[in-house]
Structure 1
Amino acid sequence: MAQTELKRELANRHVQLIAIGGTIGTGLFLGSGKAIQQAGPSIMITYLIVGIAVFFVMRALGELLLSKAGYQSFTDIAGDYLGPRAAFITGWTYWFCWIMTAMADVIAVGVYVQYWFDIPQWVPAIVCLIILLGLNLLTVKNFGELEFWFALIKVITILALIGIGVILLVMGFKTDAGSVTVRNLWEHGGVFPNGVKGFLFSFQMVVFAYVGVELVGVSAAETSNPEKNIPSAINKIPLRILFFYVGALFVLLCINPWTELNASESPFVKTFSLVGIPIAAGVINFVVLTSAASACNSGMFSTSRILYNLGKNRQASAHFSKLNKNHVPGNSLFISTLVISAGALLSKLIPEQAFGIVTTISAICFIWVWGVVLVCHIKYKKTRPELQAASKFKAPLTPAINYVVLALFAAILLIMLIAEETRPALLFTPLWFVLLYILYPRPSKRVKESSIATNIE
């Protein structure tokens, strides 16, 4: 008999590390180099602002997920509060933006492997996808274990960087780039060396750096104790943001004047090299390689679960809702992996522009998804006061903070429209939403009632 329900095999340690892994990826290890070049030391403020906004999104998502036992992801929430068309658009958009993100990460895998082996970039990219696919097809616990160790490597690396940085600051250590000192934050053109314009233009890459934090919500259906594990993971996000992002960037910019960092390379590799650790470049290259593989692994997990829910709710082919004997949506995994593999082709066709285009599209789509969560939470407070009153995990400062964060997201989209580099992707992305609006399969009354009953159960 075909399996119909996802299996709850993700333990608390898996959920905690998935939450960490979701907020530490290619956007920080590689993309931060570009963001630093745009904003200088003020990049720490950008990360802090977006991080605070994302935390409020996650608190809203957490309250919504725990308000009703039938919710398996935020597509179910969108359907409940905004209607089936909104669920269709949000679900497919989330699948699309994770496809874009995973493409960027699989491109990065190929680049990092070339550090050791002179082989075509697409070869290690495809090998990585095949390995991850095989592991994800077995059980969801394999995904959890893989992400646990991937995230652990990233955490240890950042802890090592911060620890070494603090020691060097106390010692007054000197590198080839100069002294390790807090004065590096303002002695090379000030905190805002490129003015307000550079500061604002850095928001796109910083938004991309935070994509994946909502994986806590996607994994809700496969979490063994969601009432305990989800709030625990979400409440620790602010500390992680302060420590892993702002803390790591603070140390980076104290060791290296921002002018010494290259937009096309990882500032982490550069920093460890400057410190004088002989094997630093190779070690950190391995770390950023595992980071890219981790993000790609997360992309395969999330896209397959979104397709599973779309199929289950009759907003995609019913084949996507079928599970294998290990309670894993195998058909969804195969299709998502196949589409992600197009990233290797994209890197060959437009190698210079590929990363920037896919990260911008991904950031725009994630802003849509996060915005939908906030709008649903506003409607939840207005239309379901009994659920809100009974909530044990109430989102703070709502609904006012929801409107503030929505305004911030709107401002970021406006900035992307003004910036030449991000404008083409911003103008292209609305076509995706128009296409989904047109392609939405209007369900019959019988299908609607069946879908609603399934969600409630």
Structure 2
Amino acid sequence: MFTDIPQWVIALIALAVVLTVNLISVKIFGELEFWFAIIKVGALVVFMAIGIFLLVTREQVAGTSTGPSLITDHGGVFPHGVLPMLLVIQGVVFAYASVELVGVAAGETENPEKIMPKAINSIMWRVGLFYVGSVVLLSMLLPSDSYSGDQSPFVTVLSKIGVPAAGGVMNLVVLTAAMSSLNSGLYSTGRILRSMAMSGSAPKFTGAMSRTQVPYGGILLTAFFCVLGVGLNYVVPDKAFEIVLNFAAIGILSTWAVIMLCHLLFWRRAQAGQLTRPGYRLPGSPYTEIVTLGFLASVLVLMWADGGPSRLTVMALPAILAALVIGWFASRGRMKDPR
């Protein structure tokens, strides 16, 4: 569908559209994100309905009988061993990125004490239903060797059962999902930068607000780095996604690690009587934080073991940490006590 359009042009158009929406108002951002979510979830629901129908009616897909036997008769849950599954964890981390945005939304939510626990708890069943459920369906519709890295597994199944234009439709869904990620990324990063600017830990211009209460300074700075991604699509279009995937994985791991460390310090101060923990609490503290930090560290080890761009990304981590330390010493004199 988009083969005649240069990849960098599509990326630039998507950035321009999402940036414009974010700069206008929060209401329009929310409306756009709502429709993006409807398209993503709708596509998954339709696919799962088709898959369940094929399983219930015992229909064959490409001459192969469907059902749980496809898993047991073709190498089990890990047909190529456990190691390949472990090595793709960085991709899984990338896919689950931004679940922490539910916490960012607390600052703009009415009655967060009631709304936020519901929103956070709903993440688990949605992940189980849409992510895990769709993968289980895929494994019971075709044997594992029918799928390849060159084509979406959803397109593979839909093409095998004769759905017309399956590839084009799924490309539109994937493009919508990518724009949704960009949309929420600009929204969240802009507000985080504003919060940091107010405490003196980010450049002052990132704290600028428009008349419609949009932190346009932080959003524009974030968009600048998105332009670098457009440049990657121009210079190395075949490797742009893999490069961004690896660096994004580092950023995601770092974000989650900092969240766990902050919560661990929060728990310690609460135990010492310096703070009061809310009624909605992380189960198993402080062991939950320690286990999570161990898991995040293991993902870094797996990225190193994967070699190639993944190892280069891990090797760049000391330089990133050094830049953060320099930034801390450069800005700590301007920082204010949030209390």
TM interval, short-chain normalised = over 0.9
Q: Give 1:291 deviation, angstroms.
A: 0.7
Mapped pair 1:431 → 2:319: yes
Distance in 2 separating the partners of 1:390 and 1:300: 31
| One-letter amino acid of the structure 1 residue matched with residue 284 of structure 2 | L
What is residue 86 of structure 2 aligned with on the other side?
A: 200
Q: SS of the counterpart of 1:288? A: helix
Mapped pair 1:220 → 2:106: yes
Q: SS of the counterpart of 1:325? A: coil
Give the conservation status (yes or no) of the 8 Å contact 1:177–1:260: no
Q: Give 1:297 deviation, angstroms.
A: 0.8
Deviations 1:250-273 (A, max 9, x none): 111212222122213322222222
Distance in 1 separating the partners of 2:274 and 2:121: 21
Q: Give 1:389 deviation, angstroms.
A: 5.4
Change in CA separation of 1:423 and 1:243 when aligned onto 2, cut-off 3 Å: same
Deviations 1:22-67 (A, max 9, x none): xxxxxxxxxxxxxxxxxxxxxxxxxxxxxxxxxxxxxxxxxxxxxx
Mapped pair 1:287 → 2:173: yes
Question: Which has the higher mean CA deviation after the structures are superposed, 407-416 or 269-278?
Answer: 269-278
Q: Give 1:150 deviation, angstroms.
A: 0.8
Q: Give 1:406 deviation, angstroms.
A: 1.4
Change in CA separation of 1:401 and 1:425 when aligned onto 2, cut-off 3 Å: same
Mapped pair 1:231 → 2:117: yes
Distance in 2 separating the partners of 1:164 and 1:125: 32
Change in CA separation of 1:207 and 1:390 when aligned onto 2, cut-off 3 Å: closer
Q: TM-score when scaled to structure 1?
A: 0.70
What is residue 285 of structure 2 aligned with on the other side?
A: 398
Distance in 1 separating the partners of 2:7 and 2:277: 53
| One-letter amino acid of the structure 2 residue matched with residue 443 of structure 1 | R
Which residues of structure 1 form unaligned runs of 5+? 1-114
Change in CA separation of 1:358 and 1:250 when aligned onto 2, cut-off 3 Å: same
Q: Post-superposition, which runs of at least 4 consecutive aligned residues in structure 1 deviate over 4 A?
A: 386-390
| One-letter amino acid of the structure 2 residue matched with residue 433 of structure 1 | L
| One-letter amino acid of the structure 2 residue matched with residue 123 of structure 1 | V
| One-letter amino acid of the structure 1 residue matched with residue 315 of structure 2 | L
What is residue 62 of structure 1 aligned with on the other side?
A: none
Change in CA separation of 1:231 and 1:204 when aligned onto 2, cut-off 3 Å: same
Mapped pair 1:366 → 2:252: yes
Q: TM-score when scaled to structure 2?
A: 0.93
Question: Which has the higher mean CA deviation after the structures are superposed, 200-209 or 220-229?
Answer: 220-229
Change in CA separation of 1:267 and 1:306 when aligned onto 2, cut-off 3 Å: same
Q: Give 1:208 deviation, angstroms.
A: 0.9
Q: Give 1:358 deviation, angstroms.
A: 1.4
Percent sequence identity over aligned pairs: 37
2:332 to 432, 443, 446: 443
Which residues of structure 2 form unaligned runs of 5+? none
What is residue 20 of structure 2 aligned with on the other side?
A: 134
Alignment of 1:234-249 (within 5 A): 234-249=120-135
Question: Which has the higher mean CA deviation after the structures are superposed, 323-332 or 350-359?
Answer: 350-359
Distance in 1 separating the partners of 2:133 and 2:282: 26
Distance in 1 separating the partners of 2:324 and 2:268: 28
Change in CA separation of 1:177 and 1:337 when aligned onto 2, cut-off 3 Å: farther
| One-letter amino acid of the structure 2 residue matched with residue 332 of structure 1 | G
Q: Give 1:442 deviation, angstroms.
A: 4.3
Alignment of 1:44-443 (within 5 A): 115-116=1-2, 118-176=4-62, 178-385=64-271, 386=273, 390-421=277-308, 422-440=310-328, 441-443=330-332
Distance in 1 separating the partners of 2:3 and 2:251: 35
Give the conservation status (yes or no) of the 8 Å contact 1:161–1:251: no
Q: Give 1:340 deviation, angstroms.
A: 0.2
Distance in 1 separating the partners of 2:50 and 2:84: 29
| One-letter amino acid of the structure 2 residue matched with residue 188 of structure 1 | H
| One-letter amino acid of the structure 2 residue matched with residue 410 of structure 1 | A
Distance in 2 separating the partners of 1:348 and 1:125: 10
Distance in 1 separating the partners of 2:332 and 2:232: 35
Give the conservation status (yes or no) of the 8 Å contact 1:181–1:254: yes
Change in CA separation of 1:388 and 1:257 when aligned onto 2, cut-off 3 Å: farther
Distance in 1 separating the partners of 2:3 and 2:240: 22
Give the conservation status (yes or no) of the 8 Å contact 1:185–1:254: yes
Q: How many residues align?
A: 336
Distance in 1 separating the partners of 2:302 and 2:210: 45
Q: Give 1:318 deviation, angstroms.
A: 1.1
Distance in 2 separating the partners of 1:365 and 1:116: 30
CA RMSD of aligned residues (A): 1.9
Deviations 1:382-408 (A, max 9, x none): 212347755210111111122111111
| One-letter amino acid of the structure 1 residue matched with residue 280 of structure 2 | F
Distance in 2 separating the partners of 1:132 and 1:248: 28
Distance in 1 separating the partners of 2:237 and 2:10: 16
| One-letter amino acid of the structure 1 residue matched with residue 317 of structure 2 | T
Distance in 2 separating the partners of 1:186 and 1:350: 41
Higher RCO by CA contacts (8 Å cutoff, separation 6 or greater): 1
Distance in 1 separating the partners of 2:29 and 2:63: 41
Distance in 2 separating the partners of 1:388 and 1:128: 44
Change in CA separation of 1:177 and 1:305 when aligned onto 2, cut-off 3 Å: farther
Distance in 2 separating the partners of 1:229 and 1:189: 44
